[in-house]
């Protein structure tokens, strides 16, 4: 393993960069730059393992092999060939190349991809002393990204996107990505000491992600990553990172989370997913309509992703639901509410202006995250020494 620091990139959906930055800082990676759709940070090979295991709201972890100005094909070829490909790619490596180009002179993405592929081959020919590569070994997906005539060459370490935790085997209607669900929770005031309810839980993604956060369970603990097959990132580092993650997890939550929905089929999927995620005992699932929603608990957080009414004929149904939410939530004076929807008139139906709004994307759907901050929970009363009694 090399001791030198690498330039790593955690990609994210637009609007979640600050959350990903915060997660990286919590892991100890403070040398970072936040850009649109990504956070560039410095770390070693161990950071590749830990970031993949722990990042909740990022899409992928990339290693940046190089970055340079590139306004003609000759420069792109020469600079790419000069990069340290032999430090990463094995002689039998499979290295598909994809690309994108935005506001750059090299605007033909297929041509850029072919050129980068050829440059990598030329580099490997000299290092491995061969003219032919079978590409039957470990996969190293390469991307050339050119923005305003500046090229960034990266390799994807994650493989399947980080939203694929491994627990969501069944798909219901309008599923919410796990990475976005985790972000909704981290953008709220909820912590494991406070009550939590998702009254429109669907197949359970939001409460499951809340349970993972509450118990400090690494979201990637039960899946594999592409870089696990790379010699540059040895198995020992992955084993150490997984051991660390298991040691940091707690056994249970102090307060059981509540997740309700009117759809029994969706709840059945949710229970199954919670079991696969290892948080089955941390969530109480119950069939209940929004019109019948009640709770006696106080100072909790409601975090939910109700139907948007995007499809023809569903808008009135969604608006009726928002009105039911208004009636039910009006009784919860000490609670904080967090609602993600693309409906432009949500506040009109909810009849209350949000404390804060944040633009987020659920897939390609532009949404607003409406945040209604309730009062802070009272602090536990401190017992002074002269107030103590002996029994």
The predicted-structure confidence for 248-275, as pLDDT tens digits, reads as follows 999 999 899 999 999 999 999 999 999 9
Q: List pLDDT tens digits, range 130-166.
A: 878 888 999 999 999 999 999 999 999 999 999 999 9
Question: In the predicted model, is pLDDT for residue 391 greater than 50?
Answer: no
pLDDT at 383: 60
**Beta-ladder partners of 145:** 100, 152
Closest CA to 144 of 185, 183, 95: 95
Cβ neighbours for 254, distance < 8 A, ≥ 6 positions apart:
192, 193
Q: Per-residue confidence at 311, pLDDT binned at 50, 70, 90?
A: confident
pLDDT bracket for residue 305 (50, 70, 90): very high
Work out the mean pLDDT of the chain and round it to a whole number.
Answer: 94
**3-class SS at 17?**
helix
60-69 vs 32-35, strand pairing mode: unpaired
Residue 385: band (very low, low, confident or very high) from pLDDT cuts 50, 70, 90 = low
Alpha-carbon distance values, 41 to 25, 208, 336 (Å):
10, 28, 34
Confidence of residue 389 (pLDDT cuts 50, 70, 90): very low
Instruction: Please give the Cα distance from 291 to 266 (Å, whole number).
Output: 18
Q: Within 13 Å and on the Cβ side, how many CA atoms surround 26? A: 13
> Is the pLDDT confidence value at 363 over 80?
yes
Q: What token pair was written down for 194?
A: 């406070």
What pLDDT, in 10s, does the model give residues 25-64? 999 999 999 999 999 999 999 999 999 999 999 999 999 9
Classify each residue of 213-249 as buried b or exposed e, where b means 16 or more C-beta atoms within 10 Å of its C-beta. Answer: bbbebbbbbebebbbbbbebbeeebbeebbeebeeee
Assess if CATH 1.10.1270.20 describes domain 178-219+252-372: no
Instruction: Work out whether strand 142-147 and strand 97-102 pair parallel, antiparallel, or are unpaired.
Output: parallel
Q: What is the pLDDT of residue 380?
A: 73
Sheet strand arrangement including 6-11: 32-35, 38-43, 6-11, 60-69, 150-156, 142-147, 97-102
Residue 354 pLDDT greater than 70, yes or no: yes
Q: What predicted TM-score, i.e. pTM, was given to this entire model? A: 0.93
Confidence of residue 94 (pLDDT cuts 50, 70, 90): very high
Can you give the residue ranges of every domain in the chain?
6-156, 178-219+252-372
Which two structure tokens, joined as six digits, stand for 45? Answer: 């090979």
| Mean pLDDT value of segment 178-202 | 97
Helix axes 178-186, 17-26, angle to 10 degrees: 80
Q: Determine the CATH number of domain 6-156.
A: 3.30.2130.30
CA dihedral 339, 340, 346, 350 (to 10 degrees): -10
Residue 89 has pLDDT above 80, yes or no: yes
Share of the chain above pLDDT 70, in %: 95
Helix 205-214 vs helix 178-186: angle between axes, to the nearest 10 degrees? 60
* Percent of the chain whose pLDDT exceeds 90: 88
Tell me the per-residue pLDDT of 120-134, one tens digit each, with 9 for 90 and over: 999 999 987 887 888
């Amino acid at each position: 393993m090399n001791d030198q620091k690498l330039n790593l990139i955690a990609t994210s959906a637009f609007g979640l960069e600050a959350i990903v930055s915060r997660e990286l800082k919590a892991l100890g990676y403070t040398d970072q730059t936040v850009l649109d759709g990504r956070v560039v940070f410095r770390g070693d090979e161990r950071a590749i393992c830990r970031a993949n295991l722990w990042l909740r709201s990022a899409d992928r972890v990339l290693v940046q092999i190089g970055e340079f100005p590139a306004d003609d094909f000759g420069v792109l070829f020469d600079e790419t060939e000069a990069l340290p490909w032999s430090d990463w790619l094995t002689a039998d490596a499979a290295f598909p190349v994809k690309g994108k180009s935005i506001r750059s002179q090299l605007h033909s993405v297929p041509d850029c991809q072919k050129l980068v592929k050829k440059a990598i081959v030329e580099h490997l020919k000299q290092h491995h002393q061969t003219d032919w590569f079978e590409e039957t070994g470990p996969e190293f997906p390469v991307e050339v990204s050119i923005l305003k005539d500046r090229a960034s060459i990266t390799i994807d370490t994650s493989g399947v996107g980080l939203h694929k935790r491994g627990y969501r085997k069944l798909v219901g209607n309008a599923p919410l990505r796990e990475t976005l669900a985790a972000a909704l929770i981290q953008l709220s005031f909820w912590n494991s000491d406070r009550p939590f309810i998702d009254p429109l839980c669907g197949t359970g993604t939001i409460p499951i992600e809340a349970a993972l956060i509450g118990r400090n369970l690494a979201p990637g603990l039960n899946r594999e990553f592409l870089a696990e097959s790379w010699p540059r990132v040895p198995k020992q580092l992955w084993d150490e990172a997984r051991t660390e993650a298991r040691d940091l997890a707690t056994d249970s939550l102090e307060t059981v989370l509540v997740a309700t929905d009117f759809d029994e089929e969706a709840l059945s999927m949710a229970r199954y997913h919670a079991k696969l995620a290892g948080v089955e005992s941390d969530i109480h699932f119950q069939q209940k309509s929004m019109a019948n929603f009640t709770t006696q608990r106080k100072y909790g957080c409601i975090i939910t992703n109700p139907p948007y009414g995007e499809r023809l004929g569903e808008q009135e149904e969604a608006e009726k639901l928002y009105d039911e939410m208004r009636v039910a939530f009006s009784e919860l004076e000490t609670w904080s509410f967090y609602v993600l929807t693309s409906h432009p008139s949500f506040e009109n139906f909810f009849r209350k202006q949000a404390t804060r709004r944040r633009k987020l994307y659920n897939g390609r759907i532009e949404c607003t995250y409406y945040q209604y901050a309730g009062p802070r929970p009272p602090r536990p009363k401190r017992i002074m020494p002269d107030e103590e009694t002996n029994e």
